[in-house]
A and B are shown apart, each in its own frame.
Chain A
Amino acid sequence: MTAVSLDKVTKVFNQGRPDEVTALSDINLEIGAGRFVSLIGPSGCGKSTLLRLIADLIPASSGTVEVAGKPATRARLDQEYGIAFQQAGLFEWRTVQRNVELPLELRGASRAERKARATEMLALVGLADFAGHYPAQLSGGMQQRVAIARALAVHPPLLLMDEPFGALDEMTRERLQSELLAICAKTGTSTVFVTHSISEAVFLSDQVVVMSPRPGRITAIIDVDLPARDDAARQSPAYFEAITAVRRALRGTDNASASTDAVAAPSSRTPGSASPAATAP
Chain B
Amino acid sequence: MRRVLSAVLGLVVLIALWEGYKAVGNPDGTVLFGVRVLPRADDLSMPHVSDMLSRLGRPELTGGRPVWQVVLSASLFTLGITTAGFLAGAVVGLLLAVAMQRFRVIERGLLPYVILSQTVPLVALAPLIAGWSGTVWPEWTTVAVIAAYLAFFPVAVGMLRGLQSPQAAGVELMRSYAAGWWRTLIKLRLPASLPYLFPALRLAGAAAVVGAVVGEISTGTRGGIGRLIIEYSREATSDPAKVYTAMLGAALLGLVVAALVTLLELPLMRHRRRVSVVTM
Contact = CB atoms under 8 A, between A and B. Distances in A.
Interface of A: 52, 55, 57, 76-79, 81-83, 85, 87, 89, 91-95, 102-103, 105-107, 134, 136-137
Interface string B186-209: 011001101000000000000000
9 contacts: A87-B169, A89-B173, A91-B188, A92-B277, A95-B271, A103-B177, A106-B174, A136-B271, A137-B275
A91 B188 CA distance: 8
Contacts of B183: 106
Contacts of B172: 52, 55, 57, 83, 85
B278 to A, nearest CB: 11
B191 to A, nearest CB: 5
B169 A76 contact: no
Contacts of B176: 55, 57, 76, 79, 81-83
Interface residues of B, number: 21
Nearest to A103: B177
A194 to B, nearest CB: 14
Given A85-B169, A136-B277, A93 B178 contact: no
Given A93-B194, A106-B183, A136-B277, A87 B177 contact: no
B169 A89 contact: yes
Contacts of B179: 106
A87 B166 CA distance: 13
Contacts of B191: 91, 93-94
B271 A76 contact: no
B275 A134 contact: yes
Shortest Cβ-Cβ A-B pairs, 4 listed: A89-B169, A77-B178, A106-B177, A136-B275
Contact of A137 (B174, B175, B188, B274): B274
Given A103-B177, A106-B183, 15 more contacts: A55-B176, A57-B175, A57-B176, A76-B175, A78-B178, A79-B177, A83-B173, A83-B176, A89-B169, A89-B173, A92-B277, A93-B192, A107-B177, A136-B274, A137-B275
B135 interface: no
B167 interface: yes
Contact of A106 (B178, B192, B275): B178
B187 A106 contact: yes
A91 to B, nearest CB: 7
A85 B169 CA distance: 7
Interface string B139-166: 0000000000000000000000000000
Contacts of B57: none
A93 B271 contact: yes
> Chain B CB within 10 Å — which of A89, A93, A105 has the most?
A93
Most A CB within 10 A of own CB, among B178, B179, B183, B275: B178
Nearest to A133: B274
B94 to A, nearest CB: 18
A92 B194 CA distance: 12
Contacts of A107: 177
Contact of B187 (A52, A102, A134): A102
A79 B271 contact: no
B20 interface: no
A89 B170 contact: yes
A77 B188 CA distance: 18
Nearest to A95: B271
Contact of B170 (A76, A78, A91, A136): A91
A109 to B, nearest CB: 12
A89 B188 CA distance: 11
A105 B178 CA distance: 12
Nearest to A154: B177
A46 B194 CA distance: 36
Contacts of B194: 93
A32 B100 CA distance: 45
Contacts of A134: 271, 274-275
A277 B191 CA distance: 46
Contacts of A82: 176
A106 B179 CA distance: 7
Nearest to B188: A91
A87 B167 contact: yes
A137 B277 CA distance: 10
A72 B170 CA distance: 20
Contacts of A137: 274-275
A102 B187 CA distance: 9
Contacts of B167: 87, 89
Nearest to B169: A89
A102 B184 CA distance: 11
Given A57-B172, A91-B191, A93-B194, A79 B178 contact: yes
Contacts of A55: 172, 176
